[in-house]
Amino acid sequence: MKIGAKIRKIRELKDLSQEFMAENLGISQQMYSCLEKDDSIPFSRLQQIAKILEVDVESIIGFDKNYFYNFGSNNVNMGTANYSIPEKVINLYEENIALLKQKIVWLEEELAKSKNQM
């Protein structure tokens, strides 16, 4: 799914109009409509859109309509949507976190060694 289509789906799930989005971005509704058809939206514009939609950029990029269940039709201030994360992804992140913690310990030890050598 293209970035513009993901933005459109999130906007629709939050029951926001293109006019609302365009007004908050300071552009015309027609220009906003073109954004929703695009796949090469500048990152700064994507950040603005994410702020209006009250989600982070990563949520837009990784959006999959099959994961989102709790978007209220009239609630603009939704916060975080509920979605499931595959166990493999969770394990991968936990492994990376453990590795980063090991690197931190090693760096702290190296720093202590270098201070002792001074």
Each residue's pLDDT tens digit, 61-114: 888 765 554 444 444 444 444 456 677 778 888 888 999 999 999 999 999 988
Decide: residue 60, CB within 10 A, 0-12 exposed, 13-18 middle, 19+ buried: buried
Chain position carrying tokens 């975080």 = 80
| pLDDT tens column, 40-55 | 888 999 999 999 999 9
Report the predicted TM-score, pTM, of the whole model to 2 decimal places: 0.55
79: left (phi over 0), alpha (psi -120 to 50) or beta: left
pLDDT of residue 61: 85
